[in-house]
Every structure is written in structure tokens, then in C-alpha cells.
Amino acid sequence: MDTLVRVNCIKHKYEDETEVQVCGLDFVVKRGDILALLGPNGSGKTTLLNHIIGLLKPIEGKVEVFGLDPSKDLKKLIPKIGVVFQNVEYQLIGPTVMDDIVFTPINIGMSEKEAIKVANHLLKEIEISHLKHKVPHYLSGGEKKKVAIAGALAHNPELLIMDEPFAGIDHQSKKKIIEFLKKLNKEKNLTILFSTNQIDVVKLLAKRVYLMEKGRIKLFSSTKEFFRKKIKLEVCEH
């Protein structure tokens, strides 16, 4: 399988001089995989994902996404990557849900007619068609997450990156979205990387698991092997 993402022992310094580091095992994402980045709050999951999507630039270490440096070549990567932020308020910018979902595909060259067709399909699959004319700002937290997931998929990315995507989503909706994502993985070979501290989500969606703790990538295994070993996970939600 092609390697889409490779991260090797990175360090970042924030404006207030705070330094954060993500080291341990090399972090590799192969095409067609569904990878869970599992760990407690504060373990470094969001820091790692923000380097992968080019929001942060390391002062040490290396990040490659589709063979490019995301901190320098983000424009080239936008058509290939869909992103769901932990705080989706950062990405919901359209005056209506429909406007928000079609924004990226239209801006990278898809016709408005095709973008609306894709958006309607996603709205139906994620069961939020009734929200298409609503203002995103006034939606519930769970509804905003669903809109963000639809928006991240609307331009048919090769790689979907999600930071705590199912927080605030009810269990039944979570299961339906997971089944849809697994269908996209199987039919379109969509590669999925997501962070979580929810064990049930890992069991339902992931093929393989990275375990993080205090800025270190401690373990990598298949999901089946991960749970067969009954690795101690008091730090994670059950």
C-alpha cells in the first residue's frame, strides 16, 4: 500500500515559548487503512493531527503527507484531504448548511450542480437533509459535527482526518455514520485517520490503532490484536 502520511519525532514551539513533542514510534498512514489515534485528553493527538494538516510546523522532526510538507504545500493538499476539527466552529463558515457543504468542492473546481448533487447525497446518508437550509451557527453540537463530516467528504478526498469526530453525537447516529464511512473505505478506498478517547468507536471503525500517552506514540497494532491483548486503558472512556 502507498504511504500517505509519515511523521517522525516532531517538536513544536508555540508563541508563548511552550514546547510540545510527539515522539516514540514513527507514525505512518497507508492508503486504504482506517487508523485510530487513541489516547486520553492531553496526550498529543490534536498536536499530531494539526501537524499533518499543516496548521502547525515542527521545529524538529519531519512530516510528509502525499510526499509533501503540509506546512508549505497546503494548497496542493486541500483537494486530497478532508478535515473535521475537534472544534467544528472553526470550519462551519457558510450562511446555510448547504452553502457550507458545497464551499470546498466548488472552490476546487467542481461545478455548482455537481456539488449540490454530492451534498444532497451526503445529507441523506448522514440523515441531516432536514438541516440543509438551517444556519450552522444555531445547530446543536452533534448536528454541527454531522455537517462538518459531510463538508469534509464533499470534494471526494483521498484522506479523511477527524479529530474526536463523534463527541456529542448520539449512539444511533454514531453507528450510522461509522457504517457509511466503512462503506466509503470499501467502495472508494477512502483512507481514514481519526483521533478518539472512545473505545467503542475504535472497535466499530478502526482497522489499526496507535496508542498515545503524554506525547509519545507507545503502541501500534491491528484493532483485533489490540483488544485481544486486553491492553490496560483506564485513561480512556468506555
Q: Any idea how long the chain is?
A: 238
pLDDT at 28 (0 to 100) = 97
Q: ∠ CA(165), CA(187), CA(205), 5° rounding?
A: 35
Q: Is 72 exposed, middle or buried (0-12, 13-18, 19+ CB in 10 A)?
A: exposed
Query: CA-CA distance, 44 to 121, in Å (whole number)?
Result: 35
Q: ∠ CA(68), CA(197), CA(37), 5° rounding?
A: 25
> Would the pLDDT of 229 be above 80?
no
- The band of 18, judged by pLDDT with boundaries at 50, 70 and 90, is confident
List domains and CATH numbers for the chain. 3-89+158-228 (3.40.50.300)
Contact 41, 171 (CB under 8 A): no
pTM: predicted TM-score of the whole model, two decimal places: 0.94
pLDDT at 1 (0 to 100) = 64
User: pLDDT by residue (tens digit) across 80-132?
Assistant: 999 999 999 889 999 999 999 999 999 999 999 999 999 999 999 999 999 99
